[in-house]
Structure formats: structure tokens, C-alpha cells
């Protein structure tokens, strides 16, 4: 018998569920409409979190303090339209002026900014974004305005600081200084990231509309610690000259890439390092810029510059400069592999001394010298190269130093019957330009091989936290007699009116040079390609009292000229000319107070404090008492007159008459991107001083004297 269905109970349950559903739905509508503002406020009160605050990243500076990389502060402005202590009377009085100032700072119209305030006010936003990336100088100006000066608890305005990383000197040492990318840093930015990064702080923040976070107060729970400043060994003036000399030669010969390194002999400190690569920008047009650090990261067959190590090994085994080597007609075969000298078409060099073998860069002579010395025991040659120090990395603190390829054993799978003679002239081995320079610098430094260094010290503000002293890799690369012989044969290469391969490049120079030219064929996966070469020159000066060493490598020219003597040596000469002309160590200076012996020297406009410090040190009279940060300078016979230089808060600064460093500081902080041409004093600027800062004024061109 079937149990009757109680339909009344079912309907009762159905009606109950329906009513409950309607009540829930009604409550949802009530919360979303009538009570929306109340619950939004309550939600914001509890939607807080402790957020990590990025510290200011340390600066990277040249050895004289010029900025190579710096973090420029910019600010985002948010507004809490429901600020409990809001001074609406002041808001109404100053809002139009405030909108004008904000709009001028970020390139927006006042009406656009006013619309953002009105929208936030009408909707009751507690963190409306009013403006992004407000430059530091504009931020300073805004903070002085009456309404802003009330403080965030009476005006609801919150400035959020963040950093934009800039390289004020553009392509100068760009790849060495590096790029600060969170997931793929390169250069010094990567190698010294732990020191530059600082320590994160913590701040209580509130989630606002758009899933953004806004600080609850200006105070930190844990103060962020700024990163340390990294002071490099680079000389910006030398860097500029090396880069320009290299670029001109690359353009002249349509080369694929090139590098220049200048080192201080006694310390191993790198004073300049330039790396330029050719890029096709359009049909038939090419530009050069830094996109890879060839000096440190590209290991190639060095060619004839390796002959220094080869003949050093021979002399360490008992050979002498006066030993005779019969180069014949400049052509010889080793195991059916032909080797030639550059003058084989003219009959070769014949019977010459070991010293002349090096001076004229005879391939045949060098190969025979190594074969005659080590032919019975080739392993001894490899062992000697290792002891000299050419088979190892330099250990420079920089990510990406390439491993040199110098065979360590005749049992290696790649060793063959011609390996000994090929290695003798710089083939079947690879080295980076920096590793080549380390050997030449050691010869200049009385046999002490120094570790190349790019960083001299770490600073916190004006305090030196750590100093990196010169580091000796090998205290004696060879015997004193071998060292004397090496220095002698390197001088012979560059002796004016001599027989060396660089004899014509240093005539009538007030300094002497010791070095070696190099020309190497370029290897590909299919072997050595016809007509493709890599030119190099490595050496030091002055030859009798070395101060600086330098290596130049230029690859794959398309001009039909490719010898190291005609391609690389001229770049070395131009760099040496500049160093000799500007380094006081090469010149005798008069003594006594400067102001007593001549007229007051001309000075550039710029920052007041360092200028006054300089005048005080030199004993030069000037009118003191100014408090302005920036000044104009006019020099007379006996004293200097300095007057205030007005810097507009919302306009383009007048940087004419300034040095590049001060000009870059002002223009970068005004939110402008700077391109410049030349060195010295700013002679003209493409945007007139005082021009209001707008979004379209993104780049300013400077011409320097």
C-alpha cells in the first residue's frame, strides 16, 4: 500500500526557501546600493598589510665622482577624498592653482587634473591616482604650495616615491656600467648588485581601488637602507676619448666590432673600457653602440700579440734576443700546413735575430724559435705558458669573463703535429682583450701581473665603507733578464725610423711607446674565411717609465685594410695623445698661489658649494655670502663674481655655460632625456630656457664646446 504524499509540507518548504532567497537577494542589493559607502569604508579599514619598501639604489660613479648610473626619484600622487581632517575651505581656494602646477609637471592640462579630483570627490575614492612620474624638482615645488603644506591628514594628498635608473652619459661605458633589470641585470649593476641594492624597509599600507596600495602613514615600520655607492676606476674624460677614437675608426673601415681598454700600470685599475658593435639601422646605414662587453666576454684567437708570450717562454728556456733564426724567403711548411710572413712576396727576411723576429712580426721566425726550443718537449711550452699566466682568467669581478683556451697537455684530443707552431703565432688559442692586456701590463709593471679592477671603493654618502686595493696575480712572470729583453723588443716595434711594424705611428711624439701589433684571420665553423681579419695593438707608455697600458682590438673590417699597424695602432696613439696632454704627471707645474701668478682662471656656471671649495683651496678671491644652490660665474683679473642662477620650478633650466655633469643633473631631474655632442662646456640647448615642461618635451639636445 502506497504512502500518501504530503504536498502541504513540500509547499511549505518551497515557500520558506523562496522567502529566504528573496531576503538574501534583498540584503545584497541593500549592501551594494544604500550601504555601499559604509561597507567600503569598513573594508578599507581592514584591508591593510605590511608592504616591503624598495630602498634607493646606490649610484655608480667614475673615479672623480661623475655619475655613470643614478636613480632619479619620481613621485606618484594619490588623493584620499574622504580624509577625515580635510580642509575643504583651503581645497576650494587652491585647487585650480594646484591643478595647474601638477599639469605642468606631468604634461597634462589643468582641466584634466581637475577632472580627476572631481571624479574622486564625487565617488568618495580613498586613493585616486592624480598623477604619475612627477619629477623631483616639480615635487619640491608642489610641497611648497599652501594646500599641500597642510599635510596629508588635512589635504588627503599622498606622494609615493620610486626610482628611475638613468645613465647620464649614455653610451659611455654603457655595457660595463650595465643595466638594472630585476631579472636580467648585466655589468657592474649585476656584479655589485648586493652592495648597490641596499636593504628593504617595511611600511603599513592600505589597499585602495584598482588593487593598488597606498601608505597609511609617512612613517616606516622598518626604515629602508639605501644602497652603497660604487666608485669605479673609470676616468670619464679618457672614456670619452677612447670611445670616440674607436667609433671613428670603426666607421672609417666599416668594422663589425671593436674594443679599447686603458689600464693604470702599477695598480691594474681600468681607466677606460669601450665596446662598440655595428648595427644596420637601414639599407646602407649603420650605427655603433654598446650591446656586448667584448673586452671581457669575447675570447678570440689573438694572433701576433700572443708572440710576446711565445718568445718569453723561449727566453725563459734559455734563448736570447741575439739568437739567429733563418726565416728564409718568408714561407715554410709544417706537416704540409703552409705558413707565411707578410713580406713573402718580397723574398722574406732571411736570417734575422730573435729580437727582429718580434719587431717585424715574423710568423715563420716565431714558429721556428718555439719549435727549435720546445720541439723535443712541447709539454714544456704549455707548462711555461701556464706559469706565465696566460692560460687563466684574470678573475676580474664581473659576470661573464670568457675562459681562455690555451692547451694544457699534449695529450689533449685537439693536439696535433702543427699545434706547437700554430700556438706560437697566436692560433689554436683564444684570449679576451682583457687577458691579452694583463700580460702586457705585467711587462710594463716590472713583471708583476695585476688583477684588472673596475671598482675602487664603496661609499655611503661621503664615507668610504670599503676600498679595493691593487691585487697581485703573479709577482714574477719571468726572470729579470727575460723581462729586460721583452721590454727591449717591444720598444723596437714602435721605434721611429726603425724596422718595427708600428715605426711610423709614433714619430715626433713627446712620449715613447712599447707594444706589439697583431693581425689574425677570423675563424668560422667552415674554417678561416678569405679576407676577414681581426686587427690589434697592445702596449704601454711611456716606454721607459710606464704609466698606462692599452689594448685595441678591431674585428672584420670591410675597407680592404686590416693590419694591426694601420687599423688598431692609430686608436692607441689617439688615446695616448690625450693622456699625455691632460695628465699632470707628464708635465712640470709652476708653484705658488695661483692668484699671485696669473689672472683668475675662467670657471663654468654650476653648483655653488664645490665652486666655493675650489676657490678657497686655490686662494682666489670671490664674493661670498650667497646661499643659492646654482650660480653664474664671471671672472676678472683678481677675483671672481658669482651671482644667483635662477632655476625655474616648472620650466626648462638654462644650462648654457655649465659643465655636462651639472647640466645632466638639472635636466634629468626636470624629467628630460638628454642627448649631447662634444665635450667641455654647454654652448647651446635645443629647448629655450624657461620653456614650460610638457609631455612632448622629452628630449633636449646639448652642444658642448
Q: What is the mean pLDDT of residues 133-155?
A: 89
Contact 535, 567 (CB under 8 A): yes
Which pLDDT score is estimated for 493?
96
Question: Does position 590 have pLDDT exceeding 60, yes or no?
Answer: no
Query: 3-state SS of 80-123?
Result: CCCCCCCCHHHHHHHHHHHHHHHHHHHCCCHHHHHHHHHHHHHH
Question: Does position 468 have pLDDT exceeding 80, yes or no?
Answer: yes
> For residues 484 and 486, what is the distance between their CA atoms, to the nearest angstrom?
6
Q: What is the mean pLDDT of residues 633-642?
A: 80
CB under 8 Å to 59, separation ≥6 — which residues?
67, 68, 69, 70, 71, 229, 230
- How would you classify the pairing of strands 212-215 and 67-79? unpaired
Q: How confident is the model at residue 448 (pLDDT cuts 50, 70, 90)?
A: very high
- Return the C-alpha cell found at 362: 715574423
Question: Does position 45 have pLDDT exceeding 50, yes or no?
Answer: no
Q: How confident is the model at residue 71 (pLDDT cuts 50, 70, 90)?
A: confident
CB under 8 Å to 378, separation ≥6 — which residues?
410, 419, 420
- At 571, is the secondary structure helix, strand, or coil? helix
Q: How confident is the model at residue 213 (pLDDT cuts 50, 70, 90)?
A: low
Architecture of domain 50-232: Alpha-Beta Complex (3.90)
Q: Classify residue 442 as left (phi > 0), alpha (psi -120 to 50) or beta.
A: alpha
CB under 8 Å to 35, separation ≥6 — which residues?
none
Which pLDDT score is estimated for 15?
78
Q: What is the mean pLDDT of residues 647-674?
A: 85
> For residues 383 and 375, what is the distance between their CA atoms, to the nearest angstrom?
14
Q: How confident is the model at residue 329 (pLDDT cuts 50, 70, 90)?
A: very high
Q: Classify residue 509 as left (phi > 0), alpha (psi -120 to 50) or beta.
A: beta
> For residues 581 and 265, what is the distance between their CA atoms, to the nearest angstrom?
18
Q: Which of the pair, 627 or 58, is modelled with greater confidence?
A: 58
Give the position of cell 618635451.
Answer: 697
Which pLDDT score is estimated for 284?
74
Helix ranges (H only) for 166-232 are: 174-177, 188-191, 193-197
**383-438: per-residue pLDDT in tens?**
999 999 999 999 999 999 999 999 999 999 999 999 999 999 999 999 999 999 99
Q: What is the mean pLDDT of residues 192-212?
A: 73
Q: CA geometry: angle at 442 spanning 533 and 359, to 5°? A: 50
Which pLDDT score is estimated for 231?
95
* Strand order across the beta sheet in which 285-289 lies: 285-289, 270-282, 257-264, 548-555, 527-541, 514-524
Query: 3-state SS of 590-619?
Result: CCCCHHHHCCCCCCCEEEHHHHHHHHHHHC
370 closest CA partner among 287, 308, 449: 308
Which pLDDT score is estimated for 224?
76
Q: What is the mean pLDDT of residues 528-534?
A: 87
Q: CA geometry: angle at 658 spanning 656 and 664, to 5°? A: 95
Contact 471, 449 (CB under 8 A): no
Which pLDDT score is estimated for 380?
97
Contact 178, 185 (CB under 8 A): yes
Q: What is the mean pLDDT of the chain?
A: 87
Architecture of domain 237-584: 3-Layer(aba) Sandwich (3.40)
What residues does 549 pair with on adjacent strands?
263, 540
- Return the C-alpha cell found at 434: 682583457
Task: Of 132-141, 595-604, 676-685, give the range with the top mean pLDDT.
Answer: 132-141
> For residues 30 and 204, what is the distance between their CA atoms, to the nearest angstrom?
32
Q: What is the mean pLDDT of residues 568-573?
A: 94
Question: CB atoms < 10 A from the CB of 668, how many?
Answer: 20
Which pLDDT score is estimated for 3?
56
For residue 338, what is the enclosing H or E element?
A: strand 337-340
Contact 260, 242 (CB under 8 A): yes
Question: Does position 636 have pLDDT exceeding 80, yes or no?
Answer: no
> For residues 196 and 193, what is the distance between their CA atoms, to the nearest angstrom?
5
> For residues 242 and 535, what is the distance between their CA atoms, to the nearest angstrom?
17
- At 695, is the secondary structure helix, strand, or coil? coil
- At 66, is the secondary structure helix, strand, or coil? coil
- How would you classify the pairing of strands 673-677 and 699-704? parallel
Q: How confident is the model at residue 52 (pLDDT cuts 50, 70, 90)?
A: low
Q: Which of the pair, 96 or 283, is modelled with greater confidence?
A: 96
- At 511, is the secondary structure helix, strand, or coil? coil
Q: How many CA atoms lie within 13 A of 337 on its CB side?
A: 11
> For residues 652 and 45, what is the distance between their CA atoms, to the nearest angstrom?
43
For residue 4, which phi and psi values (nearest 5 degrees)?
A: -65, 140
Give the position of cell 654650476.
Answer: 606
Question: CB atoms < 10 A from the CB of 199, how many?
Answer: 11
**355-367: per-residue pLDDT in tens?**
999 999 999 999 9
Q: How confident is the model at residue 40 (pLDDT cuts 50, 70, 90)?
A: low
- Return the C-alpha cell found at 380: 714544456
> For residues 394 and 324, what is the distance between their CA atoms, to the nearest angstrom?
34
Which pLDDT score is estimated for 449?
97
Q: How confident is the model at residue 147 (pLDDT cuts 50, 70, 90)?
A: very high
Q: How confident is the model at residue 46 (pLDDT cuts 50, 70, 90)?
A: very low
For residue 553, what is the enclosing H or E element?
A: strand 548-555
- Return the C-alpha cell found at 418: 702543427
**251-262: per-residue pLDDT in tens?**
999 999 999 999
User: pTM (2 decimals)?
Assistant: 0.74
Average the pLDDT over each of 9-18, 153-162, 421-430, 459-468 and give the range with the smallest value. Answer: 9-18
For residue 363, what is the enclosing H or E element?
A: helix 363-374
CB under 8 Å to 84, separation ≥6 — which residues?
153
- How would you classify the pairing of strands 212-215 and 201-208? antiparallel
Domain boundaries, the chain: 50-232, 237-584, 595-704
Q: CA geometry: angle at 590 spanning 586 and 594, to 5°? A: 125
Q: How confident is the model at residue 74 (pLDDT cuts 50, 70, 90)?
A: confident
Q: CA geometry: angle at 181 spanning 190 and 260, to 5°? A: 55
**605-617: per-residue pLDDT in tens?**
888 888 888 888 7
Which pLDDT score is estimated for 56?
80
Burial category of 76 from C-beta neighbours within 10 Å (exposed 0-12, middle 13-18, buried 19 and up): middle
Question: Does position 9 have pLDDT exceeding 60, yes or no?
Answer: yes
Question: CB atoms < 10 A from the CB of 616, how many?
Answer: 11
Contact 72, 164 (CB under 8 A): yes
549 closest CA partner among 579, 594, 528, 590: 579
Question: Does position 595 have pLDDT exceeding 50, yes or no?
Answer: no
Which pLDDT score is estimated for 446?
96
Amino acid at each position: 500500500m502506497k504512502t500518501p504524499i504530503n504536498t502541504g509540507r513540500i509547499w511549505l518548504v518551497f515557500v520558506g526557501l523562496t522567502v529566504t532567497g528573496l531576503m538574501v537577494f534583498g540584503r545584497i542589493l541593500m549592501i551594494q546600493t544604500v550601504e555601499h559607502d559604509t561597507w567600503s569604508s569598513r573594508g578599507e579599514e581592514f584591508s591593510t598589510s605590511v608592504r616591503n619598501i624598495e630602498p634607493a639604489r646606490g649610484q655608480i660613479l667614475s673615479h672623480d665622482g661623475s655619475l655613470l648610473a643614478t636613480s632619479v626619484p619620481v613621485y606618484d600622487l594619490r588623493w584620499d577624498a574622504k580624509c577625515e581632517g580635510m580642509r575643504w575651505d583651503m581645497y576650494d581656494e587652491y585647487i585650480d592653482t594646484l591643478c595647474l602646477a601638477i599639469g605642468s609637471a606631468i604634461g597634462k592640462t589643468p582641466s584634466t587634473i581637475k577632472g580627476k579630483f572631481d571624479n574622486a570627490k564625487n565617488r568618495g575614492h580613498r586613493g585616486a591616482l592624480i598623477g604619475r612620474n612627477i619629477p623631483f624638482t616639480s615635487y619640491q615645488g608642489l610641497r611648497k604650495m599652501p594646500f599641500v603644506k597642510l599635510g596629508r591628514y588635512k589635504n588627503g594628498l599622498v606622494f609615493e616615491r620610486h626610482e628611475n635608473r638613468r645613465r647620464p652619459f649614455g653610451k659611455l661605458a654603457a655595457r660595463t656600467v650595465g643595466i638594472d633589470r630585476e631579472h636580467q641585470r648585466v655589468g657592474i649593476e649585476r656584479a655589485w648588485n648586493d652592495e648597490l641594492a641596499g636593504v628593504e624597509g617595511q611600511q603599513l599600507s592600505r589597499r585602495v581601488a584598482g588593487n593598488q596600495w597606498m601608505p597609511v602613514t609617512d612613517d616606516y615600520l622598518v626604515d629602508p637602507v639605501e644602497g652603497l655607492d660604487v666608485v669605479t676606476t673609470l676616468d670619464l674624460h679618457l672614456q670619452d676619448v677612447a670611445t670616440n677614437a674607436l667609433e671613428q675608426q670603426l666607421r672609417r673601415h666599416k668594422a663589425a666590432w671593436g674594443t679599447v681598454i686603458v689600464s693604470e700600470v702599477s695598480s691594474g685599475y681600468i681607466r677606460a673600457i669601450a665596446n662598440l658593435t655595428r648595427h644596420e639601422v637601414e639599407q646602407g646605414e649603420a650605427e655603433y653602440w654598446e650591446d656586448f662587453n667584448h673586452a671581457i666576454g669575447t675570447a678570440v684567437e689573438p694572433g701576433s700579440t700572443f708572440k710576446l708570450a711565445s718568445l718569453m717562454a723561449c727566453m725563459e728556456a734559455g734563448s736570447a734576443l741575439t739568437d739567429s733564426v733563418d726565416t728564409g724567403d718568408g714561407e715554410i711548411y709544417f706537416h704540409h700546413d703552409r705558413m707565411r710572413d707578410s713580406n713573402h712576396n718580397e723574398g722574406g727576411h732571411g736570417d734575422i735575430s730573435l729580437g727582429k723576429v718580434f719587431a717585424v712580426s715574423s710568423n715563420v721566425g716565431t714558429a721556428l724559435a718555439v719549435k727549435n726550443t720546445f720541439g723535443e718537449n712541447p709539454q714544456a711550452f704549455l707548462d711555461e705558458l701556464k706559469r706565465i699566466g696566460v692560460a687563466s682568467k684574470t678573475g676580474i669581478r664581473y659576470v661573464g669573463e670568457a675562459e681562455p683556451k690555451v692547451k694544457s697537455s699534449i695529450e689533449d684530443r685537439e693536439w696535433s703535429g702543427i699545434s706547437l707552431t700554430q700556438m706560437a703565432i697566436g692560433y689554436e688559442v683564444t684570449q679576451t682583450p682583457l687577458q691579452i692586456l694583463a700580460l702586457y701590463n705585467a711587462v710594463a709593471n716590472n713583471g708583476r701581473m695585476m688583477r684588472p679592477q673596475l671598482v675602487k671603493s664603496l661609499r655611503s654618502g661621503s664615507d668610504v665603507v670599503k676600498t679595493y686595493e691593487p691585487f697581485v696575480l703573479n709577482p714574477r712572470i719571468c726572470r729579470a733578464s727575460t723581462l729586460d729583453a721583452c721590454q727591449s723588443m717591444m720598444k723596437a716595434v714602435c721605434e721611429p725610423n726603425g724596422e718595427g711594424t708600428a715605426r711610423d705611428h709614433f714619430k715626433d711624439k713627446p712620449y715613447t711607446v712599447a707594444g706589439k701589433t697583431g693581425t689574425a684571420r677570423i675563424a668560422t665553423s667552415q674554417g678561416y674565411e678569405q679576407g676577414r681579419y681581426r686587427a690589434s695593438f697592445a702596449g704601454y707608455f711611456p716606454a721607459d717609465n710606464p704609466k698606462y697600458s692599452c689594448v685595441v682590438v678591431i674585428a672584420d673590417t670591410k675597407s680592404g685594410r686590416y693590419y694591426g699597424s694601420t687599423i688598431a695602432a692609430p686608436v692607441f696613439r689617439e688615446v695616448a695623445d690625450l693622456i699625455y696632454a691632460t695628465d699632470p704627471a707628464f708635465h712640470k707645474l709652476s708653484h705658488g698661489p695661483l692668484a699671485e701668478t696669473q689672472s683668475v682662471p675662467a670657471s663654468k656656471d654650476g653648483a655653488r658649494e664645490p665652486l666655493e671649495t675650489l676657490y678657497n683651496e686655490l686662494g682666489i678671491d670671490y664674493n661670498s655670502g650667497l646661499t643659492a644652490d646654482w650660480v653664474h660665474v664671471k671672472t676678472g683679473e683678481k677675483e671672481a663674481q658669482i651671482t644667483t642662477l635662477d632655476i625655474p620650478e616648472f620650466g626648462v633650466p638654462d644650462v648654457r655655460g655649465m659643465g655636462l655633469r651639472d647640466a645632466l643633473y638639472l635636466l634629468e631631474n626636470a624629467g628630460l632625456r638628454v642627448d649631447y655632442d662634444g665635450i667641455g662646456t654647454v654652448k647651446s640647448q635645443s629647448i629655450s630656457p624657461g620653456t614650460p615642461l610638457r609631455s612632448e618635451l622629452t628630449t633636449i639636445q646639448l652642444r658642448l664646446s
